[in-house]
Amino acid sequence: MKMELIDNNPMEYITLPSRKQDKIFIEKERNFMTKEELKLFMNYLEEENKLQTICLFRLLAFTGMRKGEVLDLHWSDINFKTKDLYVQKTLAKVRSKHVLQPPKTKESYRWLDIDSITLKYLLKWKQEQIEQYEKFGFKVAKDQHQPIFATYHTRLNEMKYMRVSTPNDKLEAFFNRHKDLHKIHVHGFRHTHASLLFEAGATLKEVQSRLGHSDIKTTMDIYTHITQASREKLAEKFQKHIDF
C-alpha cells in the first residue's frame, strides 16, 4: 500500500484477539461471612438443636475443610485427646454414584486442630448417633470406622454416607427459615474460615497449610477477594471514625 502496489489495507478489518488476562477470583456476591454474621448463624443452629447439622456446619466453618472431606470423615479420623483430626479422603459423586477418593492434592492430606466447642458437639452427636444406629437395628462398630455423617436410607435399610447435595439442601432450607442471615454457598464456609484466620493474624503460609492448597496463589486469590469485598466496609469505618 505504501508503495502503491495495492489499493486497500488487508489488515484494516482484522480483529485482534484480546490479551489473555490472569484469572482473578472475583464474585458478584460476598461468599463469606463476617465474625458477627457467623455468630448469628451458629446461634440459630443451636436454637434448632439438631446435633448432626450443628456438627456439619461447625466443621465446615471452623476447620475450612472442603465439603467432600467433611462428609467422608469417620470417627476414627478424630483424636479427642489431642483435639485434632486427619484428612485423608473425600466423598464425591461420579456418574450418579457416591465414591470415596483421595484428597484433591497431596497437600490436602493434613492434620487439623479442632476447637473445644466443636469437639463438645461432636461427642454429643457421637452418642446420639449410637442411639440412632441401635434404633434401626444396627450394631455400632467398636473400631469406630462408621462415618460421622451417616444417614439412614429407608428403602435400602442401610446406614450410608450423606449425599454430597444434602449440605446444600440443608443450608438453603436454613436460610429460608432465617431471612436475616447473610447468604453464602456451602463452599463459602471455607472462605469464611480463611477470612477469619487472616483477621486473627494468620500468615498466608499458615492459611495455605490449613486449607490444603497446593499453590499459595490460590490462597492469595482468596485473600485478594476478601480484601476487595471489605473495601466498602473499611471506607465506612474510616468515615465514621473521622466524622467529617
Q: Categorize the per-residue pLDDT at 226 as very low, low, confident or very high, splitting at 50, 70 and 90.
A: confident
Strand locations in 30-155, DSSP E? Answer: 78-79, 84-87, 90-94, 97-101, 110-113, 150-153
Q: What percentage of residues in the chain have a pLDDT greater than 70? A: 79
Cα 197 vs. chain centroid, distance in angstroms?
Answer: 14
- Say how far apart CA 5 and CA 23 lie, in whole Å: 45
pTM listed for this prediction: 0.80
pLDDT band, very low/low/confident/very high, at 21 (cuts 50, 70, 90): very low
Higher per-residue confidence, 238 vs 193: 193
Q: At what angle do helices 204-211 and 216-242 cross, to 10 degrees?
A: 130
Look at residue 18 in the predicted model and tell me its pLDDT: 44
pLDDT at 22: 41
C-beta neighbour count of 217 within 10 angstroms: 14
Buried b (16+ CB within 10 A) or exposed e, 152-189: eeeeeeebebbbbebbeebbeebbeebeeebbbbbebb
Q: Is the pLDDT of residue 63 over 80?
A: yes
Grid cell for residue 78: 478424630
Least reliable range by pLDDT among 19-28, 126-135, 167-176, 185-194 = 19-28
CA distance linking residue 153 with residue 143, whole number of Å:
23
Give dist(CA 234, CA 244) in Å, integer.
16
Side chain identity, residue 91:
L
**According to the model, what pLDDT value does residue 4 have?**
52
Better-predicted residue by pLDDT, 97 or 123: 123
Say what the pLDDT of residue 17 is. 46
Phi, psi of 94, deg, nearest 5: -125, 120
Q: Which residue has the higher pLDDT, 26 or 73?
A: 73
For 97, the 3-state DSSP assignment is strand
Percent of the chain with pLDDT over 90: 54
User: 119 pLDDT exceeds 90?
Assistant: yes
Cell of 239: 468515615
234 pLDDT higher than 80? no
Q: What is the mean pLDDT of residues 49-67?
A: 97
The per-residue pLDDT for range 68-107, each reduced to its tens digit, is: 999 999 999 999 999 999 999 999 888 888 888 998 889 9
Phi-psi region of 146 (alpha: psi -120 to 50; beta: other; left: phi over 0): beta
* Identity of the residue numbered 178: H
pLDDT above 50 (res 27): no
User: Is the pLDDT score of 157 beyond 80?
Assistant: no
pLDDT of residue 210: 94
Query: In the chain, what are the domains?
Result: 36-178 (1.10.443.10)
Q: Of the spans 91-105, 176-190, 194-208, which averages the highest pLDDT? A: 176-190
